[in-house]
Amino acid sequence: MVVSGSTNLSMNKNNFIVQENCESKVKRIKQNGQIQIYQSSYRGSYSTIIRDCIRNAALGRKVLLVQLMKGGVKQGVSSPVSLCDNLLWIRSSDSYDQYNSQDIFNEDNIKNSIKNSTIELWEFCKKQLLSGEQDQVILDEIFRAVELGMIQEDDLISVLEDRFVSGDVILTGTKIPKKFLLMADQVTELRS
C-alpha cells in the first residue's frame, strides 16, 4: 500500500486505522478474510479441508485446526499437535465421538464432561479468532456443537462478527442454521 500526501496510516493488532488530513476523522477498516461454510449430509466428509490446511501450513501460513467432535486422541487445549511449525491441531480432551450417543444422553457425568471439554475448546478458539494470531482457522463440526447446545448460536455469531483473521474462517457441519448461511461469503455443499 502506498500512502502519500497528508494521509497518515497506523496499524494496531486488530484493525487498520486511517487518519485523513491529520484531523480527528478516524476510519476503521477491518482486515478479515472470508467466512466459508462447508456443508455435508453426513459427518466425516471434510478430509479435503484437512489436506488443504496442512498444505497452507507447509507454505508458511499459521493455521488453527480445531475438531470439536472428533475422538480418538485425548489432547485438549493443553496438548495440541503441532505440524510444519505452523499448524496447531486440537481435538477435545473428552470428545463426543468417544461415546455411544445413547450413553451421552443417559449419563449426566459423560454429558457434562463432553460439554465442559467442548466449552474449554471453544473459549480457546474465541481468543484465537479475536487475537489475529492465525492466518486461517478451521472449526470442524462447530454446527454439531451448536445443535447440541454446547456452543450458543449468538456467541458464535458475535465472535465471527468481531474476529480478526487475515485468512479464511472455515466452518463445517451437517445442519447449518440459516443465520450462518446468510453471513457466509462462501457456502460449499460436499456430496458423496
Query: Averaged in consecutive runs of 10 residues, what is the pLDDT profile of the chain (192 residues)?
Result: 36 44 50 84 73 89 89 67 83 74 76 86 93 91 91 94 85 91 89 72
pLDDT at 31: 57
pTM of the model: 0.76
Half-sphere exposure of 111 (CA within 13 A, CB side): 10
Give the pLDDT score at 129.
92
Question: Do 144 and 43 meet the contact criterion of CB atoms below 8 Å apart?
Answer: yes
User: Dihedral (C-alpha) 157, 158, 164, 170: value to the nearest 10 degrees?
Assistant: -10
Question: By the 8 A CB rule, do 87 and 57 touch?
Answer: yes
**Beta strand residue intervals within 95-151, DSSP E:** 136-140
Nearest Cα neighbor of 166 from 122, 131, 141 is 131
How far the first Cα of the chain sits from its last, in Å, is: 44
Strand partners, 173: 39
| Cβ-proximal residues to 174 (8 Å cutoff; 6+ apart), any chain | 39, 40, 41, 42, 43, 143, 144
pLDDT at 81: 72
Backbone phi and psi for residue 113, each to the nearest 5 degrees, phi listed first: -65, -45
Cell of 155: 456467541
Can you give the C-alpha Rg of the chain in angstroms?
19
Amino acid 155: pLDDT: 96
Cα–Cα distance for residue pair 172/188, rounded to 1 Å: 10
**Measured between alpha carbons, how far is 172 from 189 in angstroms, rounded to an integer?**
10
Q: Which domains does the chain have, with CATH numbers?
A: 1-31 (no CATH), 32-190 (3.40.50.300)
Angstrom distance (rounded) from CA 65 to CA 24:
41
Contact 174, 190 (CB under 8 A): no
